[in-house]
Amino acid sequence: MFIIKLVLKNALRHKLRTSLTILGVAIAVMSFGFMRTIVTAWSAGVQSSGENRMITRQAVSFIFPLPYSCLQQLQQVPGVTEVTYASWFGGVYKDAADFKNFFPRIAVDPETYFSIYPEFITPADQFAQFAKERNACIVGAKLAQEQGFKLGDIIPIEGDIYPGRWEFVVRGIYHGRDQSTDETQMFFHWDYLNERMHVESPGREGLVGWYVLSVRNAADMPRVAKEVDERYKNSRSATKTETEREFQQSFVSMSDAIISSLEAVSYIIIGIILLVLANTIVMAARERTKEYAVLRTLGFSSGHIAGLIAGESMLIASIGLVIGLALTFPLAMGFAKAFPTFFPVFNVETITIIIAVAVALGAGVAAALFPVARAVRMRIVDGLRSID
Amino acid sequence: MSQNGTMIRVEHVTKSYRRDSIEIPVLRDISIDVPAGEFLALMGPSGSGKTTLLNLIAGIDRPNAGNVLVNGTNIGALGESELAQWRARHVGFIFQFYNLLPVLTAFENVELPLLLTNLSRKEKREHVEAALHLVGLGERIHHYPKQLSGGQEQRVAIARAIVTDPTILVADEPTGDLDKVSAGEIMDLLDKLNKEFRKTIVMVTHDPRAAERAHKAMHLDKGELTN
Amino acid sequence: MKIPLAYTWRSLWTRRLTTLLTLGGIALVVFVFAAVLMLSNGVQQTMIDTGGEDNVIVLRRSANSELVSQIDRDAANLIRTDPGVATASDGTPVMSTEVVVIINLQRKDVNGMGNITVRGVSPEALALRPQVKIVRGQMFRTGSHEIILGTSIAARYSGTGIGEQIKFGDAMWTVVGHFTAEGTGFESEIWGDVEQLMPAFGRPVFSSLTFKLRGAGEYEAVKKRIESDPRTQYTELKREQVYYREQSQLMSDFIKILGLIVTIIFSVGAVIGAMITMYAAVANRTVEIGTLRALGFRRRSVLGAFMVESVVLALLGGAAGVALASLMSFVRIATVNFSTFSELAFGFTLSPGIVLSAMVFSLVMGFVGGFLPAVRAARMNILAALRSA
């Protein structure tokens, strides 16, 4: 339509100003996308939670272990199809001050852990080798790439929770089934840990960090949680059972102050998009006050004028949006590389893109509101009289 | 064409402007009749209200009291968007400083009023070319205003004013910014539009030479007719 | 000939709306810049002030936090008798044997739990940490199941009032006091008698020891002595302030890096906004500029005038941003400290250095944003400018 042509021509009148505005919007959109990606990445763990999985841990806090003897009792709870267990090993790999050297090190039961967590996919031959060897381990593909681990490498860990020097042989590399699966973890045999405790610290053998329960029907989960916690309520190791999603969410909400701050910053960014855009559109509309009056003399309606102003605003916002989104991806990738194990899953989510689009287009409309109101309310004769 | 051959009737019109909290009267109880086909010049010192009267006739301002009828239509009774549509169909406006859109070519400027109609692309082009031909601008139609002289710009503006074949033409100091030769050419053009095409023209002017070309002149002073 | 400052003020005032919009943009950027620095500073202040100048903490070697450290009684007793440890007037060494665990408590504001550090301490703990002051109730009695907790915990978590009881380690613990700690990390902790807490948590060993140095210069000697003794060589000594600085390093680095990325991006946006405004100002005043030059003002005066305008705009925006940021001093944030995995409350701490950095930052933005447009103004041809009316 003709209005589009006029909008384009008007925008090109001041090429420098239009380009700068587009650049400003693009940068703001890029940082918005980036901020929101950090916020969503923080909750990535929640998204990767299994539908029918529950976590049972010590009620006081997760740093206290549970006895291995719970295993059989848990298996017998009605509705529970499978039970596995794990312990957080911790320890220090190389220089602890370099955060790149942090990755989760978890002692598991190979027979049952990976059937409850089918999203960790290891080639069958590698897994078989891992299962056979006492001090073997499997590592995530992303971790292997980061640290340069290859099959057969020995990973030396200086224990802290479990003191002493430990060595693990890489026998398998797993891939994540979904985009949200964490590929930065290392798993080894719980039996290996337990045996060494038997020798070095007998008081610490037969203890498990947490249990994972697989429940047949999601609807049974609240009942299962209640039953398990009731049973152990008055024992030495009172338990807290919750769905895996709730468990992950509780970690996320501990950092909610920071997450909220990041979200607040992303709203400020929206404000900046608006300011930069509004600044330009206000100026442009003011310069053309007389032209708008002439158009109205010719019979063009207020709607047409509004369309011209809003059209230019939307044009700049849209181009800025596209450029900004395009830049968000490399920025996100760069950040993920800098903090690999901090955010094991760092993807620009679709919802982020949708919100960014809505924000930019919304800003395009909002920036035009005041100039449109001014242009429409101005009487034709006043407009004709105005000097740029 | 209405009864008695009157094209424009201004009945007891009063208009004042508000500046801050002061009310400044510009037109006091003015009544005039302009027959169809007339070429009228409105003259008077600055502040006399002649441009205001022109604006009321053209439908770009409303009187505080009284009526303005053009070809039988009481334009004061029309709503904003109806008035806009009325202007597009019935009024051709010619400004002192041409007021062409700088980002559009001569052709596109003349085409502007046609965009409010339902004519096909071909029909629009024919109208534009005809109008430009009439004002004597065959070539240079794809030039931008800044590439044209003052006289040429005004011609483009006139072409724009006539392209929809409006009922009346209003001109506000059409020769005010032109040299003697160009001014003469523009007045020739207006003369032609009036004589050959029977357009009713109301023109505000300071220039006595321009006023000579009109049929009739009315004088205003401090908002009242002083003939 | 210099162009008067009044010209600058009035020019900015005439185009109020765009001036305000640009000012707003700069203020926002400076606000974020200052707030991030304040937050990072706040984390460090909290943690560093947590440590006492003459205090030394003893951990297991290569344990990077108390949570994963173990020190047995024999080692503790040996260290206690070291001559480098200060003694109180009655001859008892000023040393606290401590055990650190994390428990979950229910938050008051949202439906969720938080990780809280519980610290079992010796009676000497208060002497070691003079910033800790009991503001409500009283200190717990040694040998009892009484506990005191920091005011941050009292404010954020349920069941923490004086007289209320908290269950952990299969015993009930009665809250008998609330304490402040000048905003340091201890305000986010629960304290109890170490000898009661250890069996309750099934911990046969301490997590750490903290003692006061007898003489400030003796640190190196004491460290060497204890770390080389075969009975205590699995331990590592650190100045308490160094330890706590390390505990906050990750957090504050994260905040700083994230914040700086954000600020750099924002500042580019603000500079662009300033540039657009200044270009428009120049374009608008072409005739003025031509007139000034025709009157005899030199090119560099014109350049100067526009640079001044841009810088004034930026400094005003910067001042507004800093003023806004200073309001953040009233805000306290509590979140999980990545290193200790337990709750830490900290605030936004403004410092003269931050104010200075923020103002310099806005100055730079004004300079960069105004430079090219000012150059354009200065280079204008007088006749072309005058004729453009």
Model pLDDT for residues B20-64, shown as the tens digit of each residue = 788 888 898 999 999 999 999 999 888 888 989 999 999 888 899
State the Cα–Cα distance between residues C270 and C268, nearest whole angstrom. Answer: 5
Mutate to test the interface with B, among A14, A287, A297, A301 (most CBs of B within 10 A): A297
In this predicted model, which residue has the larger pLDDT, C123 or A48?
A: C123
Interface of A with B (CB under 8 A): 2, 6, 9-10, 12-13, 290-291, 294-302, 379-381, 384
CA distance C60 to chain A (A): 8
State the Cα–Cα distance between residues A272 and A289, nearest whole angstrom. Answer: 26
Which fold, B3-225?
Rossmann fold (3.40.50)
pLDDT for C141: 92
Chain C segment 113-142 residues within 8 A of A by beta carbon are 113-115
| Beta carbons of A299 and B93 less than 8 Å apart | no
Kindly tell me if the per-residue pLDDT of C389 is higher than 60.
no
pLDDT digits (tens, 9 = 90+) for C315-338: 999 999 999 999 988 888 888 887
Q: In total, how many domains does chain A have?
A: 2
Q: Say whether pTM exceeds 0.90.
A: no
Residues of B in contact with A2 (CB under 8 A): 115
Q: Give the range among A177-191, B70-84, C280-294, C336-350 with minimum mean pLDDT.
A: C280-294
Q: How confident is the model at residue A146 (pLDDT cuts 50, 70, 90)?
A: confident
Number of A to C CB contacts under 8 A, please give it.
139
| Sheet hosting strand B224-225, strand order edge to edge | B91-94, B168-172, B200-204, B39-43, B216-221, B224-225
CA distance B139 to chain A (A): 23
pLDDT for A369: 93
Are the C-beta atoms of residues B85 and A303 closer than 8 Å to each other?
no
pLDDT for A384: 86
pLDDT for C90: 86
Assigned token pair, C386: 């005058």
pLDDT digits (tens, 9 = 90+) for C68-114: 888 999 999 999 988 888 888 888 899 999 999 988 888 888 877 88
State the Cα–Cα distance between residues A219 and C89, nearest whole angstrom. Answer: 65
Are the C-beta atoms of residues A26 and A327 closer than 8 Å to each other?
yes
Q: Give the range among A218-222, A343-347, B10-14 with minimum mean pLDDT.
A: A343-347
Kindly tell me if the per-residue pLDDT of B3 is higher than 60.
no
Same domain, A231 and A265: no
Q: Is C389 an interface residue toward A (CB < 8 Å)?
A: no
Q: Is B92 an interface residue toward A (CB < 8 Å)?
A: no
CA distance A307 to chain B (A): 14
Are the C-beta atoms of residues B187 and B176 closer than 8 Å to each other?
no
Instruction: Give the pLDDT mean for C9-30.
Output: 82
Residues of C in contact with A158 (CB under 8 A): 62
In this predicted model, which residue has the larger pLDDT, C270 or C124?
A: C124
Kindly tell me if the per-residue pLDDT of B227 is higher than 70.
no
Number of A to B CB contacts under 8 A, please give it.
59
Q: Classify burial at B168, counting beta carbons within 10 Å of its beta carbon; exposed 0-12, middle 13-18, buried 19 or more.
A: buried
Residues of A in contact with B116 (CB under 8 A): 298-300
Kindly tell me if the per-residue pLDDT of C161 is higher than 70.
yes
Q: Which amino acid is at A210?
A: W
| Beta carbons of A257 and C334 less than 8 Å apart | yes
Q: Classify burial at A317, counting beta carbons within 10 Å of its beta carbon; exposed 0-12, middle 13-18, buried 19 or more.
A: buried
CA distance C276 to chain A (A): 6
**What range does the domain containing A195 cover?**
60-237
pLDDT for C204: 86
| Beta carbons of A299 and B85 less than 8 Å apart | yes
CA distance C87 to chain A (A): 31
pLDDT digits (tens, 9 = 90+) for C365-380: 889 888 988 888 888 8
In a domain, A354, yes or no: yes
Residue of C nearest to A33 (CA): C262
Angle between helices C299-327 and C240-284 (to 10 degrees): 140
Same domain, A73 and A32: no
pLDDT for C2: 61
Task: Provide the percentage of residues in chain A whose pLDDT is more than 90.
Answer: 41
Chains near B (3 or more Cβ pairs under 8 Å): A
Instruction: Give the pLDDT mean for A331-351.
Output: 80
pLDDT digits (tens, 9 = 90+) for A295-304: 999 989 889 9
Same domain, A215 and A90: yes
Residues of B in contact with A11 (CB under 8 A): none
Question: Pairing state of beta strands A136-140 and A186-189?
Answer: antiparallel
| Beta carbons of A380 and B112 less than 8 Å apart | no
Same domain, A95 and A224: yes
pLDDT for A97: 67
Across the interface, of C69, C202, C273, the residue whose CB is closest to A275 is C273
Instruction: Give the pLDDT mean for C253-282.
Output: 81
Kindly tell me if the per-residue pLDDT of A206 is higher than 50.
yes
Task: Provide the percentage of residues in chain A whose pLDDT is more than 70.
Answer: 98
Mutate to test the interface with B, among A292, A294, A305, A308 (most CBs of B within 10 A): A294
| Beta carbons of B113 and A291 less than 8 Å apart | no
CA distance A26 to chain B (A): 26
Element (H, E) at C294: helix C286-295
pLDDT for B14: 92
Chain C segment 61-80 residues within 8 A of A by beta carbon are 62-64, 67-70
| Beta carbons of B160 and A298 less than 8 Å apart | yes
Q: Is B83 an interface residue toward A (CB < 8 Å)?
A: no
In a domain, A91, yes or no: yes
ipTM higher than threshold 0.95: no
Domain extent listing, chain C: 5-48+247-387, 62-233
Residues of A in contact with C62 (CB under 8 A): 92, 96, 158, 160
pLDDT for B38: 93
3-state secondary structure of B74: strand
Residues of C in contact with A253 (CB under 8 A): 110, 112
State the Cα–Cα distance between residues B201 and C135, nearest whole angstrom. Answer: 92
CA distance B101 to chain A (A): 7
CA distance C104 to chain A (A): 5
Kindly tell me if the per-residue pLDDT of A263 is higher than 80.
yes
Kindly tell me if the per-residue pLDDT of C1 is higher than 50.
no
Nearest to A228 by CA among A218, A209, A249, A213: A213
Domain extent listing, chain B: 3-225
Identify each DSSP E strand in chain B by its residue range: 6-19, 22-35, 39-43, 65-70, 73-74, 91-94, 168-172, 200-204, 216-221, 224-225
Q: Give the range among A89-103, A350-364, B88-102, B194-208 with minimum mean pLDDT.
A: A89-103
Chains near A (3 or more Cβ pairs under 8 Å): B, C
3-state secondary structure of C179: strand
pLDDT for B140: 76
Kindly tell me if the per-residue pLDDT of A278 is higher than 90.
no
Provide the mean pLDDT of chain A: 88
pLDDT for A26: 92
Kindly tell me if the per-residue pLDDT of A359 is higher than 50.
yes
Q: How confident is the model at residue A330 (pLDDT cuts 50, 70, 90)?
A: very high
Residues of B in contact with A6 (CB under 8 A): 101, 103-104
Please calculate the CA angle C110-C112-C115 and round it to the nearest 5 degrees: 120
Residues of C in contact with A272 (CB under 8 A): 25, 28-29, 266, 269-270
In a domain, A299, yes or no: yes
CA distance A292 to chain B (A): 9
Q: Is B81 an interface residue toward A (CB < 8 Å)?
A: yes
Across the interface, of A64, A254, A335, the residue whose CB is closest to C335 is A254
Same domain, A81 and A197: yes
Kindly tell me if the per-residue pLDDT of B132 is higher than 50.
yes
pLDDT for A333: 86
Q: Is B95 an interface residue toward A (CB < 8 Å)?
A: yes
Same domain, A115 and A160: yes
Across the interface, of B89, B103, B112, the residue whose CB is closest to A13 is B103
Instruction: Give the pLDDT mean for A181-206.
Output: 90
Same domain, A39 and A67: no
Kindly tell me if the per-residue pLDDT of B1 is higher than 60.
no
Kindly tell me if the per-residue pLDDT of C25 is higher than 90.
no
Instruction: Give the pLDDT mean for C335-363.
Output: 87
pLDDT digits (tens, 9 = 90+) for A24-71: 899 889 988 988 898 888 887 787 787 889 999 988 888 888 999 989
Residues of A in contact with B54 (CB under 8 A): none
Provide the mean pLDDT of chain B: 88
Same domain, A230 and A322: no
